[in-house]
Amino acid sequence: MNSDPKQINTLLSTNDYLLHLLIRLGIGRSNYIVDPGIYFTGEPDKSSPLFVSSNYKMSFNKLRASLSGISSWILVIDTEGINVWCAAGKGTFATNEVIEKIRKFEIIKIINHKNLILPQLCATGVSAHKIKDETGLNVIYGPVRTHDLPAFLNNNFMATSEMRGVRFNLIDRIVLTPIELIQALKYIFLLIFALFLIIQIANLINPDSNNIFKYHFIILYPILACLSGCVITPILLPYIPFRSFSLKGWITGIILFVTTFLFLPLTFWAKIGTLFLFPSISAFLALNFTGSSTYTSPSGVKQEMKWFIRPMLASSIIGFVIILLFLFGAI
Amino acid sequence: MNPVYFKNVSTLLLDKEKCTLCGMCVIVCPHGVFELSDESAEIVNKDYCMECGACKINCPESAIYVKSGVGCATAMILSAITGKEISCGDDEDSNEKCCG
């Protein structure tokens, strides 16, 4: 690994923004990394601030883009290409990794002050007093969002409580939806395929079970359940009643599927089966969104699961059986 | 707008006797759970706590306890089904990263 400090630009290119978009769609994530090492912006000297960054390129890009006109050093540690907060929770943006890189890249030779500025969200995995004990360096936690860095630096490393708070507003939620959707669709396509096979078998066994809405039903409904749980529920999250994500996903699902009944004149049993199966899928997918949210706790998710996993499972099974019987022309 | 998840589920505990008013918990908490009074840190918004554990590991006096861990529902469900502890992205053979 080349240890010479590398100069970096503080201006993101169109290519950078394009790659960010692709990353949000789930493309190229495992390669979007920066090599650990020392980088610099502007013309830093020994008194310039030193930031510590994850090696997920999007995090790194956000950091350097906020340093326009600022001379600084950046120590990139190895978080296996994962962003700050997830890496900290997972144990890769960790005290030991930071200490190791401080020693490896001889930070004490680069700066004559003792301050390291770390992103606040790595605090889940980094113990500031342990770093001080081991290296003599002071960990200063910077603001949550990099765009607050210039104000933070101007204010003698003091952050307002606003700068230290994590939010989960509409934009924060929207950017997460493509990857949730794409990951869920992989499983939903399995369901679609299974249902398709069932129709073929049903046609062989009971040719009278022909139903012109079958394919709308089999392809459209799984995808709608996916959209309901992975996109609509996250986007409308605070506006849907109840605190439980499962319940929110279920409510969205019920409303969505009842609305489709206005356009698809399904039989009574087809509707019943639909309302048992597909909103449960939406509920499950919405429950999964807790893992991407910024305010849910493991204790809360455990509580949700305790209450809702069995009802979701039961409802899905009942719905699936009813739909099977419907597809076989039995009801 | 600070969204609240379930109330009264957080495992967060603060031992005020040990607190030396260093203020680290206030700095690292992403949801403003703590404030400093004249005597010690105080939990003022316990229901905002997401159990990330930042306060626990940054308290030099070990005055804070919280049961932190992976909040990823998939990991928990897998854990419940298989009976083992699962953390997200554990599949080392996979090139997929589930978060980031």
This prediction's pTM: 0.89
- pLDDT score at B94: 41
Regarding an ipTM greater than 0.85, the answer is yes
Mean pLDDT, residues B68-77: 69
Q: How far is CA B40 from CA A124, A139, B13, in A?
A: 22, 22, 14
Query: For every residue of B57-72, which 3-state class applies, written as one string?
Result: HHCCCCCEECCCCCCC
- Strand blocks (E) in chain A: 6-7, 37-41, 50-53, 72-76, 115-119, 138-142
- pLDDT score at B93: 39
Split at pLDDT 50, 70, 90, the class of B73 is low
Cβ within 8 Å of B, A 174-233? 183
The mean of the pLDDT values for chain A is 92
Q: CA of B57 to nearest chain A CA: how many angstroms apart?
A: 5
Say yes or no to pLDDT of A139 above 90: yes
Mean pLDDT, residues A120-125: 97
Q: Which of A27, A97, A299, A310 to mutate to test the interface with B (most CBs of B within 10 A)?
A: A299
Tokens of A98: 């930071």
Say if CB A108 and CB A46 are below 8 A apart.
no
Mean pLDDT, residues B45-72: 91
Say if CB A316 and CB A278 are below 8 A apart.
no
In chain A, the percentage of residues whose pLDDT exceeds 90 is 74
pLDDT tens for A185-216 read 988 898 888 888 888 888 888 776 656 667 77
- pLDDT score at B92: 42
Mean pLDDT, residues B66-80: 72
Q: CA of B14 to nearest chain A CA: how many angstroms apart?
A: 17
Split at pLDDT 50, 70, 90, the class of B3 is confident
pLDDT tens for A241-293 read 999 999 999 999 999 999 999 988 888 999 999 999 999 999 999 999 998 99
Chain B contact present for A103, CB below 8 A: no
Q: How many A-B residue pairs are in contact by the CB < 8 A criterion?
A: 142
CA distance linking residue A29 with residue A41, whole number of Å = 25
Tokens of A129: 């007093």
Say yes or no to pLDDT of A135 above 70: yes
In Å, how far from its chain's centre is CA A30? 14
Q: Say whether A37 sits in a helix, a strand or coil.
A: strand
Mean pLDDT, residues A103-120: 96
In chain B, the percentage of residues whose pLDDT exceeds 90 is 63
Closest residue of A to B74, CA-based?
Answer: A288
pLDDT tens for A84-108 read 999 999 899 999 999 999 999 999 9
CA distance linking residue A210 with residue A19, whole number of Å = 47
Say yes or no to pLDDT of A225 above 90: yes
